[in-house]
Amino acid sequence: MRLLVRSVNLLLIQCTAQVRPSVGMATGSQFHKLATATATKTKTVDTDSNNKSQRQSVAMSPLTDSFGRHHTYLRISLTERCNLRCDYCMPAEGVPLQPKSQLLTSEEVLRLARIFVEQGVRKIRLTGGEPTVRRDIVEMVAELKALEQLEHVGITTNGLVLTRLLLPLQRAGLDSLNISLDTLRKDRFEKITRRKGWERVIAGIDLAIQLGYRPKVNCVLMRNFNDDEICDFVEFTRERPVDVRFIEYMPFSGNKWHTDRLISYSETVQLIRQRWPEFQALPNGPNDTSKAYAVPGFAGQLGFITSMTEHFCGSCNRLRLTADGNIKVCLFGNKEFSLRDAMRSEDCTEQQLVELIGMAVQRKKRQHAGNGGNRTLLHPHHTHRQRQQLGQLRNCSSLTHINAQGKAQMVDVADKTLSLRVASAEATVQVGERLTALIAANELAKGDVLSVAQLAGIMGAKQTSQLIPLCHNIALSSVRVQATLLEAEQSVHLVATVRCQGQTGVEMEALTAVSVAALTVYDMCKAVSHDICIQNVRLLSKSGGKRDYQRQ
């Protein structure tokens, strides 16, 4: 549902008093003018001083990036789930969902929201997936509205359950809503979304208007699909005070890169003006992503989100928090920082969370992340999982351990920010039936295989920099190695988790730990059999660095 934009125009009155005292004693009137002029000047100096102080405060905020953009708008994804299957957004069978334990709890969402608000966020929009599938959505809005410095709470929804939820949401304090609707025709709605419910969405829009909202209706334009409804959407604004926003279709691998379906903003404006020549542009706010237009006399207006043809990065003030707790500073970027992992760490303070947020913001690019025209483009409503999968397709960096001459080098991490780094890795050792029985009974001549493997893994993690030439010598705060005998699979499963508070990651330490542990299992068992196979030595996850990773 749509965001209600309130603009406040400030009238600045500048007073200038000029005093020209005559020779001799000044009159009372002249003294009054002089006093007024002095007071005005003093007030101006004080105001300038306050403004300068405010500017310095903004510049020093962790929410201000290296290009001076101050981020006051946070979008929070409450869930990866959705009750529609829009064909441009995901396959018909849906996308794999993360375990619930990997997603932020309501308490964690509210804690992070409070931290962001304390640092300067003034507007929060709840998204998904589809946020209304959360059972506690009304309570979530009420809790957010209770944050004193937060000025605005909005929601983006597909509108399917608005007739049931909107009144409770309004009572909870919801300020605005955006509704995603790509067609005004019932049959097309079912074709696009692969679900029924068009009537309920229209009823939800009308209910929002009746309750005093001015909803935004987001429409993704697609050539030869709904482009013949452009004028119908304009007509939709004749009697309804809504803001229909046409979003340029963005191709990506999941929708088979149908670039021929893109209809540009300029082409759409020309088409509308063929029917309504008086269709005119309206003023836009400094951080607006939509270019506003209207037909004079219509109750509503139109907007164009030109993500493909004209980016709006220079004024971007938005940050995103994914359902699994990653902060994204750019929708088009694949750099994510896990606030969830840091927050769930026993030794992570709230100040360290703020520093991690600031570190992420500082790494925001001047404009869309990626490699120029070769970047993969996403739709604004894609789930975190889709963004993550598509982000992996980008060629976003060169090899850091090679210099300009192609020679090996150690990366200089001196300028990197200290942060909590965590990595986990695993390995499997297939030992066969006989060795499985001997390990289970602890009857091998060399002793307790699992215990020795665990100790060897810990020692290996601490010796990583001496084994891998270009690895840094890191002061590890924790190394945990778990060795489990899987009797049914006739194997030993090894998992290592390594932590540090440092300037570089610990994935190599985790991989070294499971590798050394696996070799130790082999060494202790080889007297019985050489038919042993070390398999699947691989990273499971890493967080706290330049790019977080979670194996799917």
Say if residue 244's pLDDT is above 90: yes
Which is more confident, 541 or 255? Answer: 541
* One-character DSSP codes across 457-525: HHHHHHTHHHHSTT------SEEEEEEEEETTTTEEEEEEEEEEEESS--HHHHHHHHHHHHHHHHHHH
Q: Are 481 and 513 in contact (CB under 8 A)?
A: yes
pLDDT of 383 higher than 50: no
Mean pLDDT of 8-35: 34
Q: What is the mean pLDDT of residues 342-357?
A: 88
Question: 421: helix, coil or strand?
Answer: strand
> CB of 346 within 8 A of CB of 401?
no
Give yes or no for a contact between 193 and 86, defined as CB atoms under 8 angstroms apart: yes
Q: What is the mean pLDDT of residues 53-76?
A: 81
State the pLDDT at residue 40. Answer: 46
Kindly tell me if the per-residue pLDDT of 332 is higher than 70.
no
pLDDT in tens, 474-497: 899 999 999 999 999 999 999 999
Q: Which residues contact 58 (CB under 8 A, 6 or more apart)?
A: 64, 70, 120
At residue 248, the pLDDT reads 84
Res 386: pLDDT: 39
Bridge partners (DSSP) of residue 64 are: 70
The residue behind tokens 């020692």 is 459
Q: In the prediction, which pLDDT does 415 show?
A: 61
Output the pLDDT for position 54. 55
Write the CB contacts of 71 (distance below 8 Å, at least 6 apart in sequence).
63, 64, 65, 120, 121, 316, 317, 318, 319, 329, 361
389 three-state secondary structure: helix
Mean pLDDT of the chain: 81
What percent of the chain has a predicted confidence (pLDDT) above 90?
53
| 523 catalytically annotated | yes
| Residue 2 CB burial class (10 angstroms; 0-12, 13-18, ≥19) | buried
Cα-Cα-Cα-Cα dihedral of 86, 90, 96, 100, to 10°?
A: -50
What is the C-alpha separation between 222 and 249, in angstroms, rounded? 6
Q: What is the mean pLDDT of residues 235-260?
A: 76
Catalytic residue among 87, 227, 448, 523: 523
Q: Is the pLDDT of residue 276 over 80?
A: yes
The pLDDT score that the predictor gives to residue 104 is 95
User: CA quadruple 51, 57, 63, 68: dihedral positive or negative?
Assistant: positive
Amino acid present at 540: L
Q: What is the DSSP string of 78-142?
A: --S--S---TTTS-TT------GGGSPPHHHHHHHHHHHHHHT--EEEEESS-GGGSTTHHHHHH
pLDDT tens per residue, range 109-160 = 999 999 999 999 999 999 988 999 999 999 999 999 999 999 999 999 999 9
Residue 548 has pLDDT above 50, yes or no: yes
pLDDT confidence bin for 414, thresholds 50/70/90: low
Report the pLDDT averaged over residues 507-523. Answer: 96
Q: Is 176 strand, coil or helix?
A: strand
377 confidence band (pLDDT: 50, 70, 90):
very low
Q: Which two tokens stand for residue 460?
A: 């290996």
Mean pLDDT of 440-468: 93
pTM: 0.59
Percent of the chain's residues with pLDDT above 70: 76
The better pLDDT of the pair 394, 76 is held by 76
